[in-house]
Structure 1
Amino acid sequence: MADDHSPVLDFFTPRAAGWDRRFPDDGPAYGAAIGLLGLRPGDAVLDAGCGTGRALPVLRAAVGPRGTVLGVDLTPAMLEEAARAGRGANGMLLRADVARLPLRDGALDAVFGAGLISHLAHPEADTAELARVVRPGGVLALFHPIGRAALAARHGRTLTDDDLRAEPRLRALLAGSGWRLDSYTDEDDRFLALAVRRP
């Protein structure tokens, strides 16, 4: 299984220290996306692939002091940056693989995944694992602060229909792993897919 993790670790480890400086203006986009999760005080939420924990303060504000906020990431250097930035005060930081979460079935009300989907080694199995830990009716938000076309351009790639985040492909992927895609937004300044955990 370590081989599955190598591309993720190879990509994020050298970028961790400067990650927040590279994207200083993403905060409002994160806030707007989290606002659409429908979180209530006392809810339990997971930031899957939390990176440097930029979403944790907004998630904490949404669920309040009695809520539960978990930030899970595979890359130790990213979690170290999150701790250095003080974001561990907003939630528990945990090194774990989203393919094998140390959580009981139905423990969560929601999962937030920023930039997550394109880094999953086994997208079908991994989104099924996210479904396992969310109660029926709970929500999954797959987010990116820029849309598919802008991201492809940033990386010098051509946008194709076989992109995992293309609506038909994502809808089928989620349907096969316990989710129902409820809304899909792909604009220059935001990608946001919201799905509901099926009973």
Structure 2
Amino acid sequence: MAVVVVQQASAGVPAAVSGALGAAGLTAWPVPLNEGELPPIDLSGVEGLMILAAPHPLGTTGPALVQDALAAQMPVLALGSGAELLAEVTATGFASEGPAVKLTPAASADPLFAGPLPPDLRPHPAPLSLPPGAVVLATAQGYPAQAFRLGSSAWGVRFAGGHDGKADTWTHQLLFRFTSLVAARAEHTATRTFFTHRADAWEERFAYQTPAYEAAAFRMQLRPGATALDLGCGTGRAMPALREQVGAHGRVLGIDVTPAMLTAAARHGRTRHGHLLAADCTRLPVPHRSVHGIFSAGLLDHLTDPRTALTEWARVATSDCVLLLFHPSGRAERAARHGRPLDPADLLAEHNLRPALEATGWNLDEYEDAPGHFLAHATLAG
């Protein structure tokens, strides 16, 4: 697992940074500023971004890098002048003296900013206009916005101290919290990074599969008034068929971990058929025993811990809930497409899937691994 570290060309990765990355099982991918310029960077296969220095002037590559990371909700930590890049302004230096930097009340609930701060931090004097929705985490009298968070995944730290290899105790703790967060979110980051750039074209690229999604969803035979989930919904191709089954008084939720896919789903009118929600399928924001049907296409076998997901799905399921796992290609077809043989350890192989379902509270009722599709129909165990 790699973290891009943007730094001055003349500097190596600070010891505090490399130590925190190593402790979290992460490796540094140093990207030096070459004559103040930042080269184009492909974030595929990257789990986090640290910005220790910003190009001057900002140009296009710096903001583009940050925008790509933010779009994928990749964890970002920007220190010093990097915080100005995060907010798309240029740093002008640090005050030699100034009032103490203090945490705001919002910092108490932030995953990185656990106080108290050291008393000798120097505030950054330059004014900074934060984008709408930014949360200020640290401030000083006359020098607001010394640290801030954008969304749930990007942090900017402007006050002096800590990122030059001689980090004080608090900054060491900040680095370790950030790298631990990167490691914990690595699976979701990889998923979002992969799908974010593909979301806009996804529906058109795979339009030919839509009838197969609809036919599979109708195999669930949900009754009017039921609640149905489309987990890992992508652009929500199963949602119209789910809505048709549950009727006007039923409820359909399309859940995906990649916001860009949900944006594409809304653009294709899927909000007419149900609600779209960004959430982790292993921690569903859904009440216990409230769901009558769960449709999931191409998701389960890509999860790091599929049994945790199946257990969570059983938690939200009613006693008569139907679980339908689907893929518009059979296992053999997919293996051939990738130039590999069938893997006996594949979770979706019947000899693996059946015990995994039974161990998490499900009974496998139907199993079809046909040339043109994969389908597994399960019900909650008594």
**Counterpart amino acid of 2:331?**
R
Q: Tell me the alpha carbon deviations over residues 17-75 of structure 1, each in whole angstroms, 9 at most, x when there is no partner.
A: 11112212112211221111120111110000000111111111111111100000000
Q: Could you say which residue in structure 1 is the equivalent of 2:359?
A: 176
Alignment partners' CA distance in 2, 1:157 and 1:17: 29
Alignment partners' CA distance in 1, 2:235 and 2:322: 22
SS of match in other structure, 2:354: helix
Deviation at 1:88, TM superposition (A): 1.0
Q: Could you say which residue in structure 2 is the equivalent of 1:5?
A: 188
**Counterpart amino acid of 2:361?**
G
Task: Check if 1:128 corresponds to 2:285.
Answer: no
SS of match in other structure, 1:27: helix
CA RMSD of aligned residues (A): 1.1
Contact 2:323/2:379, CA 8 A, preserved across alignment = yes
**Counterpart amino acid of 2:217?**
I
Alignment partners' CA distance in 2, 1:158 and 1:97: 31
Deviation at 1:122, TM superposition (A): 0.9
Alignment partners' CA distance in 2, 1:56 and 1:82: 10
The structure number with the bigger radius of gyration is 2
SS of match in other structure, 2:253: strand
Mean Cα deviation higher: 153-162 or 177-186: 153-162
Alignment partners' CA distance in 1, 2:305 and 2:357: 13
Greater share of helix residues, 1 or 2? 1
Alignment partners' CA distance in 2, 1:181 and 1:82: 30
Deviation at 1:140, TM superposition (A): 0.4
SS of match in other structure, 1:25: helix
Match of 2:349 among 163, 166, 172: 166
Q: Tell me the alpha carbon deviations over residues 125-166 of structure 1, each in whole angstroms, 9 at most, x when there is no partner.
A: 011101111111211000001101111222233211111110
Task: Check if 1:101 corresponds to 2:284.
Answer: yes
Q: Structure 1: give runs of 5+ residues left out of the alignment.
A: none
Contact 2:196/2:261, CA 8 A, preserved across alignment = yes
Q: Could you say which residue in structure 2 is the equivalent of 1:40?
A: 223
SS of match in other structure, 2:198: helix
- Structure 1 length normalisation: TM-score? 0.96
Match of 1:62 among 245, 256, 260: 245
Match of 1:78 among 244, 250, 261: 261
Mean Cα deviation higher: 102-111 or 2-11: 2-11
Alignment partners' CA distance in 2, 1:187 and 1:97: 30
Deviation at 1:97, TM superposition (A): 0.4
Structure 1 stretches of 4+ moved >6 Å:
none
Alignment partners' CA distance in 1, 2:369 and 2:342: 12
SS of match in other structure, 1:26: helix
Q: Structure 2: give runs of 5+ residues left out of the alignment.
A: 1-183
- Structure 2 length normalisation: TM-score? 0.51
Contact 1:171/1:180, CA 8 A, preserved across alignment = yes
Deviation at 1:7, TM superposition (A): 2.5
Q: Percent identity among equivalent residues?
A: 50
Q: Could you say which residue in structure 2 is the equivalent of 1:189?
A: 372
Contact 1:99/1:126, CA 8 A, preserved across alignment = yes
Contact 2:220/2:293, CA 8 A, preserved across alignment = yes
**Matched length:** 199
Task: Check if 1:15 corresponds to 2:208.
Answer: no
SS of match in other structure, 1:77: helix
Contact 2:229/2:295, CA 8 A, preserved across alignment = yes
Q: Tell me the alpha carbon deviations over residues 50-109 of structure 1, each in whole angstroms, 9 at most, x when there is no partner.
A: 001111111111111111000000001100100111111110000000010011111100
**Counterpart amino acid of 1:11?**
F
**Bigger RCO (CA 8 Å, 6+ sep):** 1
